[in-house]
């Protein structure tokens, strides 16, 4: 089975540009999570969805960040406009509801904003 798929794997952009990160969760998983990892702040949850509905977006840094999940197999995280401090690795993870609820992580997108 394919794991969580993210694209692009690397993104370099200039300050002020729009950036869109994409994620395909594992088929059958009903939870999807977006995380950001930096040296300074560690691994932070940005937002998570259950059955395509956003449940908790309290980790989204500011209005420049938005996330959508139009269907069970696709989600996007958009940053507009991007800033150098947004440079980080962004991970998508998915899980299936139940006692275990183990989260499986995608390979990540390394974003560099110049």
Partner 1 sequence: ELKVEQNPLFLSMQEGKNYTIYCNYSTTSDRLYWYRQDPGKSLESLFVLLSNGAVKQEGRLMASLDTKARLSTLHITAAVHDLSATYFCAVPHFGNEKLTFGTGTRLTIIP
Q: Is 99 in the site for partner 1 (CB under 8 A)?
A: yes
Of 17-25, 60-68, 75-83, 87-95, the segment contacting partner 1 by CB under 8 A is 87-95
Give DSSP secondary structure letters for 39-104. TTTEEEEEEEEETTEEEE-TT--STTEEEEEEETTEEEEEESS--GGG-EEEEEEEE-SSSS---E
Q: Is 25 in the site for partner 1 (CB under 8 A)?
A: no
Residues 7, 55, 61, 114: which binds partner 1 (CB under 8 A)?
Answer: 55
What is d(CA 17, CA 15) in angstroms, rounded to the nearest whole number?
A: 6
Phi, psi (degrees; rounded to nearest 5) at 18: -85, 140
Q: Is 105 in the site for partner 1 (CB under 8 A)?
A: yes
We find the least distance from the C-beta atom of residue 64 to partner 1, in angstroms, to be: 22
Of 19-27, 40-48, 61-69, 70-78, the segment contacting partner 1 by CB under 8 A is 40-48
What is d(CA 35, CA 17) in angstroms, rounded to the nearest whole number?
A: 21
Q: Which residues of this chain interact with partner 1, rule CB under 8 A?
A: 31, 33, 42-43, 45, 48, 50, 55-56, 91, 93, 95, 97, 99-108
């Amino acid at each position: 089975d394919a794991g969580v798929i993210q694209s692009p794997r690397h993104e370099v952009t200039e300050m002020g540009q729009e950036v869109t990160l994409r994620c395909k969760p594992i088929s059958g998983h009903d939870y999807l999570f977006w995380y950001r990892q930096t040296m300074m702040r560690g691994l932070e949850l940005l937002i998570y969805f259950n059955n395509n509905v956003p449940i908790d977006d309290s980790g989204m840094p500011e209005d420049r960040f938005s996330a959508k999940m139009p269907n069970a197999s696709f989600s996007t995280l958009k940053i507009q406009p991007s800033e150098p401090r947004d440079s980080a690795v962004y991970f998508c993870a998915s899980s299936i509801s139940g006692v275990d609820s183990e989260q499986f992580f995608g390979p990540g997108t390394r974003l560099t904003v110049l």
